Structure 1
């Protein structure tokens, strides 16, 4: 990332790692959205829907 080029290498690597974790998909929020959708639509939701 160009905006981090001013940081020393070690700190830049740590920041890149933190940014990649932050950008990752939130699996718990994704499962909650599936369950909420099933409840709204009156569908039976089980573990297979949230894998």
Structure 2
């Protein structure tokens, strides 16, 4: 696994109405999703891109 430069990526999911969204401490923001599980998958892919 490649080591990332810069700040550590810490993601979270937040709900806004009927939608969930993944966000990261680096400023990244995933798309709004209706399925919370898909927002969590977006966050995992951002933390561990492969």
Q: TM-score when scaled to structure 1?
A: 0.30
Structure having the higher helix fraction is: 1
Structure having the higher strand fraction is: 2
Higher-Rg member (1/2): 1
Greater relative contact order structure (CA < 8 Å, 6+ sep): 2
